[in-house]
Each structure stands twice: as structure tokens, then as C-alpha cells.
A and B are shown apart, each in its own frame.
Chain A
């Protein structure tokens, strides 16, 4: 919005300054031509003899100061007289008369027209200066997240209805672990715009994280609204499945797990977890497959981690590895895998959800200062 404003105002401000500068310059020229003394002392420069007077004064001064003797001074004055006679002999060309007022105005007008016209042809009045330090695109790369948050919060304090500010702020707050503030920020976004399933889920997620994983009435309500609102929304269903399972409402949980699995294409990273959740829900909370599954997961994790450390991989793959360790309850290895992911993707921006997951699991976020 600020950018828009400056884009609109920039040329106007520029042209007003340019015209003011031109006016000042022209006024200075006209002023000089009015016969007033600005920089040229009129009588002296008009007087061809001034030079000789100056020399004469210099000789007298030298004589008075004792720099030259009386005889030398006479010699010098004689020389000066000869020079003056020579100068007189060369008759000065007749002065054609003072420049007219009309010429002066015409010349000044020509200056203004030339300058403004030429600039209109050559200049880019609508292009603001963009020093590196003040540029948003560079700022996103270089600014620390905390600084960025501070800056956005300051802007929002002044302008609390800035939807874009809240939209940017909410995930950033989530990332640095200020979950309650993030929930509030998502609340503002929802208030200022049309609520969507994703926004409601995001707010619910922030609330869940703020409550340390204990689902609140409000969060559950938001998730249910989100799931009702969008039949194809997976994330809200996954949260509902997990929360309802934790709360012991297995039947309803199973429905959400199943709904999520039905929406899957088959290669989603959460699919495995959803299937496991469904199995647990179907067994009324008893994880009979836990042993088998743990074994299977260990095998998968082993090959995945071997591949990731050897060849690298996408953020999703690293996230899957970390999640797997968390699911297995192997926090030390989860931490190692997370550190590996941070090494592979140093910019917090790229890791996004991985950080929230790691944080939720109690891992140390050594990349958080990014």
C-alpha cells in the first residue's frame, strides 16, 4: 500500500520540485539581469582603466611597504603609462548597447522550456530511488525475522486494519514460537477478510500450539467449521482426527482420518501417519499395529536418512524424516535429522512447517535466529 502511494505521489512530488528549481534558477537569472549587483560589480568591469588603476595601486602599495625603491616605482609607473597608451591606441569596439529586457525574458523562457522538455523526453520521474537498505526484496533476504516482525508490528500498531501486514505477520509469529500472538494475528486476518478453511485451520493450529497441544473448544470449533466449509480440505481433517483421537472420540476421529485418506493422491508425506491414526481410532485407541508399524517405520527411516545424508533431498523429505523420528519417540535422532535439514536449508523461509513441527515436538531450533 505504501509502495502504491509513493508510485502515485512520486511523479507529482518530483514535477513540483523540478518546476520550483527551474523557477528559482530563472528568477536568479532575471534578477542578475535587472541591473542589481549579484556577482559582478558593474562600474568596475565596465571601466577599461580599472586594470591600470589596480596595477598603480599595487605599485604604490609596494612603495609604501618598502618592497621597491622610489626609482623602481618611477620606472614601473613609466612602464604602466606606456602600456596604457598602447591599450588606448587599440580602439575598443563600440558597445552595441545593453541587452534588452525582451531578450532576457526570451532567454530565460528558453532555458525553462529546454530543461523541462528535455527532462520529459529523457527522465523517469515515476521511478523512485531504491537504496539497497530500504528495499523490500532485499530485506526479505537479509533482514532477521525478529527485525522484520518488529517492523511489521510497528506498522500495524499505526494501521491496525492493514490486512497484508497481518497476513505476513501471522506465519512469521508462528515460526518464532509466539503462538498466542500468531493465533490473534490469524484472527485479525479472518476478521478483515473472508474466512477460508485454510485460515480457520491456521488459527486453530496456532491455538493448539499455544495451548501446548491441548485442544480447546475454540480450536475444535474452528477446525469443524473449516472441514464443513471445504469438503476437500485435508489439513483440518487431519487435525480433527488427531485431536479427537487424543480426546478419546475414536469413532468421529476415524471418520476424519478416513476422509483425509480418501482425499490423498497416494504420495503425500502425511498419508502414513493418517493410516496409522485411522488404525488406532478403529481399535478404540489401542495401537495394536504399533510394534509392526514402528518396525516398518524404522526400516523406512533408515533408508531415507541414508539417502538424505548422502544425496540430499527436498524439504518435504527432510520433514518426513524428522516426523518419523518424532513418531518413533526417538527425539535425539529427530534433533539430528532436524539439524541436518537446517544445514541443507539454512533459510528459515524454506523450512516453514518443519520448524513448527520441530518446535511442537520440543526440538531445539538452532536455526530459529534466522
Chain B
């Protein structure tokens, strides 16, 4: 009887928990933003309210998960997105594989970050905490209300159908279980920066202490976003079966734009924390980054970005989203316009200085965001206003984005070597001479060995090597490597602040990614052919033998399975299995590519559609492709390293250490 009672209320209790959380958020937002000067007592109540919001939304989320796991088809969301035969992990991931569920996940992460601020921000001044939690609650109330009134995940069905519609088979993948939560953690994490920016603008107070609070949140979100994008890219690479890793499609751009803006914000907040400068930049980027995150989540999620016609099909939902975005983003920028001029500029610096270099960095990244934004939105606007359908494809992005990134990559290694306030470019250049020489040498060597397939390849290689090796210049300098005994150098390197290691690793990661991109773009080989079992094909020295073909039933699909053997140039045969699956419930086909890794390179095989009595087989050899994601992992790891630096929290200025170590400056 007890179990019956629990069952009788679990879904509706989740529904109620979500509503209660939204009610708390609404009242918190009003109180926090209107009565922010009310001091400590309000801060305590708002902190408690933020924790309550998290607990309640977590209950709501778990209720939906439970309905999916138990195949409770009285929940409409489960009917539309689940199936009793799905494996457990995909029943769970199916919760956020749709509009309503992903909104719920989005809100869950939003309130999680709010609760984290409430728990870890207990030392924040009461005014600031009131405003931050008030702004965060406003976001919860806005998106919670949107969810409840236009996209309620708790919509019910009575009587319940016997079976649900299957989840899109492309989404039945472990990638879906991990990719969106990571991405959302990144997107939503920037909401904290946004709330902090709002707090600063409303109270008119912004200082180094403020920047010190904002930076870990920025870093944390940036790490999640980096991992989320890399994960998404790798997922598309192995799941979609086209062998592509980046398509410049609106969905990808939507996650890439906040990343670019977030990267700029990260650097900007650094300057603010250390030098009390770039305040306006930091506030501006905080607003921009979260605005782009909102754009990424909602415009893509609602389908508006892919087609204006989706908007027309559900006008209420689209209109409400647009209104919320307009009010939040527009309101933020209005506030920015009114208050930015009153933000006192601090920390003077010369154009050639680390501050100057970071402004250059911000300019390039902001322009890149603009380029991607135009490329993503222009076709949509043109379609909406003039009815003309155009497609902005990879050539546009490669050209504009590449042209903006090349100079940025060129100056990047100089940045960490420039001191604050005033710097000597020549001195920094001298210290980078070794890295430059090494980069030129390797570029010539690789170009000679690999052949120049596209004219820009050597330039790309040069930039990649330059950034990768240049990242170490500061470490070499600080460790005095080669000038003092090895043991002594090692001791110095270990003793360096982790932020210095983090900078070096982060930039090295970027260099690795660039190298991977250039290598795959310039030297990838591809073969499309028809093969029968027993026949072989050859590509880039690799021999592929089609051993056998069979049809195998899977748990909820039928698979055409091809067994292959691939032999590397140096010998060593490995067996591969590539599949074409047809899902029973939906009849949708998917391809499961076979991928074999050789070092950092991959051999990629896709079994195409059957053609009369033969099979179309597509094969790619992708040299050093893993560098692309390895680089991203290194970047994220560098972020984690930076977060573990206790100086980030207590903020002991590291500048003071410099003169003692480097009297030459």
C-alpha cells in the first residue's frame, strides 16, 4: 500500500515541486532586486531560498526520470520520447533529449549554480549577494514560468497509451547522455557571471574583489563548455557517420559563440582581478556571453534558428522565448548603457603591456563572435524579411573566422610574456626566438614529408607549432631551463604558481587543436567505392578487406553488419565492424561507423547503403585528428588546474614575486 501511495503522487509531486521552486524564485527575484539594500537578513533568506529552489527542482527532475525509467506513459513527455524496450541508460538520457526535458535540465543547472553561490558566497557583502541571488532567481522565474506555461514537462495523458514513440535513434547514444548536460553546465554557468554583472550595474560598485568572485565561476563554466563542445564534436564525428568533426551548422555555432565570448571574458576578468582595469569589457562580456548562451539554448532548442517556419508552427512558444530574451538581454544592455560610464576606470597601462595584449585578444574574439553571429543569423533574417533563402556555409566561416584567428594566434604567445602596465615587445620576442625557430623548422619538415596539398597548410602548421611551443616560453624562462642545473630548474618549475602552468597548458591545448585541424584539413584522404565480401580496397597505405556481411537483430533495431580487416602500412591487422541499423519503431536508419585508432590518427569506415548486390563503402584516413579533441581536453585540464590554485581565492598578487626573480626587467 505504501508503494501505491508513492506511485499515486510521484509525478504530480514533481510537478508541484517545480511550481513551488518557481514561486520561491519569483518572490526572491522581487525581494532581491527591489530590496537589495535590506542587508544581512534578506541575504540569509535569499541564500536559503536558492538552496530550496535547487532541492525542489531536483525533486521535479527526478520525478521525470523515474517516469521515464518505469515507462510511465501517463506522462506525455515519456510517451513522446521513450519506449519500454529502450536500454535503461537511454531511458534516462531521453529525459533531456527533447524540448521540455532539456528546459528542465537547464533550470536544474541554473538553480544548482544559484545554490552554489548561496553556499560558497557566504562571505560576499550582503548587498552584492542580494542582487546576485535576486538576478539569478529572476532567471529561474522567467524560464521556470516559460517551462510551466508553454512547455510543461509534466503534461499528463489519461488514459495512458500502451507504448511510447521511440527516441530518435541518432540520439540513442552514450554521447547524448553526456553532451547536453556538459554543454548546459557551461551555458548556464555563465548565468552567474550575468547575475554578478547585473549586481555590479545596479549597485554601481565593481572592484577587484568583485572580479575575484566572478573569475572562478567563469572558469568553471568555460571548462564545462569546452568539454561540452569537444564532446559534441567527437560525437558528431563518430555517430553521424560522415567523418566530419565540425560543420558550422547553427547548433554548433550557437555553442561556439558563448565559448569565444567566454574565453574573452576569462581573460578580461583576469585583468580586472590583477589590475582593476578592463571593467567595462568584463561587464560587457559577462552580459554578451550569457546572452549568447541563451540564444544557443533557446533559439536552437525551439528550432527557430534552423528554420523560421518552426517558429510559425508554435507561435506562442517562440513569441514567449523572444520576449524573455528581449527583456533580459535588452534590459541588461539598457542598464549597461546607463551605468557603464559611471564605472570608474582603474589601473592605467601602456598600449604595449599585458593589459594591451589582452584587449587585443578581446577585440579579436569579439569580432570572431560577430562574424559567426552574422553568418548564423543572416540567412534567417533574410528569409524572414525578404523571403529569400540563402545558405551560409563552411567557406564563409572558414574564411572570416580563419582570417580573424590567424593574427590572434600569431600574437598569442607574446601575451603571457608581457609584464603588466608597460612591456618591451623586443624582449618578449627574444624569449620566443627558440619557439619560433622550432615552429619554422617543424613546418618545413612536415610540409616536405607530407606534401603541400593546400596552399595555406604551411601557414596553419606554422601557427599551430608556434602557439604550442610558444606556450612553454614562460615556463622555460621561469624555470631558467638550460641556464641552471636541471634539478634546480625542476624545483623552480614545481614551485611556480599553478596559474602559470594553467596559462601555458591552456595555450598549448589551443595549439594542439590548431595542429589537428590543419593536419586533417590538409592531409585527410578519402575513398568511396563499392565492395563485396572478399574484395579489398587501399587508402594511404592501409589495406581494407571486406571479410563478410550479415544481418543481425539488435535489441530494438535490425543491423546490416560488415566485418572488415584493416592492415596498417607497417603490418598489423585489425578487425572492424561497421553497421547500418534500422530502428524497428521509427524505421529510421543510422550508420555506426567503424573507427580504428593509430596513434593520434584514425582510420574511419562507413558501410553505405546496399546497392543491388554490392555495398557502398566510404573510407577516410584522418591524420592526427585526435589532436583536435586532445587539445580541448588539455585546455579544460588547464582550467581545472587554474581553479585549484588557491591564489584564485585568496588573491595574493603574484606580481610581487617577479622583481626578485627577474631583476633584468
Binding site for B on A (CB under 8 A): 2, 6, 9-10, 13-14, 17-18, 21-22, 25, 28-29, 31-33, 35, 38-42, 44-46, 48, 50-51, 54-55, 57-59, 62, 67-69, 71-73, 75-76, 79-80, 83, 86-87, 90, 92-99, 103-104, 107, 110-112, 114-115, 118-119, 122-125, 127-135, 137-138, 141
Contact = CB atoms under 8 A, between A and B. Distances in A.
A110 B45 contact: no
Contact of A98 (B23, B40, B207): B40
Given A29-B48, A39-B48, A54 B41 contact: no
A163 B246 CA distance: 66
Contacts of B231: none
Given A18-B13, A35-B41, A96-B37, 12 more contacts: A29-B48, A35-B44, A39-B47, A44-B123, A51-B123, A59-B652, A76-B656, A98-B41, A104-B41, A115-B23, A127-B156, A128-B74
B657 A68 contact: yes
Main secondary structure of the interface of B (DSSP, over half): helix
A79 B273 CA distance: 13
Interface string B81-102: 0001000000000000000000
Interface of B: 4-5, 7-13, 15-17, 19-20, 22-24, 26-27, 30-31, 35, 37-45, 47-49, 51-52, 56, 67, 70-75, 84, 118-119, 122-127, 129, 148, 152, 154, 156, 158-160, 162, 203-205, 207-209, 212, 276, 344, 346, 495, 646-647, 650-653, 655-657, 659-660
21 contacts: A6-B4, A13-B9, A25-B24, A28-B48, A40-B47, A44-B122, A51-B123, A68-B652, A80-B653, A86-B276, A90-B205, A93-B203, A96-B37, A99-B42, A107-B27, A118-B148, A122-B152, A124-B15, A124-B158, A128-B9, A129-B12
A9 B75 CA distance: 20
A72 B660 contact: yes
Given A45-B43, A50-B123, A129-B8, A107 B52 contact: no
Contacts of B74: 127-130
A243 B311 CA distance: 75
A14 B8 contact: yes
A46 B660 contact: no
A17 B45 contact: no
Contact of B653 (A18, A79, A104): A79
Nearest to A71: B660
Given A18-B16, A123-B15, A137-B162, A129 B7 contact: yes
Given A58-B652, A122-B148, A99 B41 contact: yes
Given A51-B123, A97-B39, A119-B16, A32 B44 contact: yes
A22 B495 CA distance: 53
A22 to B, nearest CB: 6
A114 B38 contact: no
B127 A95 contact: yes
Contacts of A93: 37, 127, 203-205
Contact of A132 (B73, B119, B148, B204): B73
B651 A33 contact: no
Contacts of A28: 48, 52
Given A58-B650, A79-B656, A123 B72 contact: no
A119 B15 contact: yes
Contact of A38 (B44, B72, B152, B212): B44
B10 A123 contact: no
Nearest to B70: A131
B650 A132 contact: no
Given A33-B41, A40-B47, A51-B209, A14 B653 contact: no
Contacts of B9: 10, 13-14, 17, 128-129
A94 B205 CA distance: 13
Contact of A110 (B27, B52, B125, B276): B27
Nearest to A39: B47
A107 B656 contact: no
A129 B4 CA distance: 9
A45 B23 CA distance: 27
Contacts of B652: 55, 58-59, 62, 68, 76
A289 B572 CA distance: 84
**Most B CB within 10 A of own CB, among A48, A50, A51, A73:** A51
6 smallest beta-carbon distances between A and B, as pairs: A58-B650, A75-B656, A131-B70, A32-B48, A114-B23, A132-B71
A280 B395 CA distance: 95
Contacts of A137: 159, 162
Given A45-B122, A118-B22, A69 B660 contact: yes
B44 A54 contact: no
Contacts of B40: 40, 42, 45-46, 98
Nearest to A35: B41
A54 B123 contact: yes
B20 A115 contact: yes
Contact of B16 (A55, A75, A115): A115
Given A29-B49, A50-B123, A129-B8, A22 B27 contact: no
A25 B20 contact: yes
B185 to A, nearest CB: 22
A52 B142 CA distance: 36
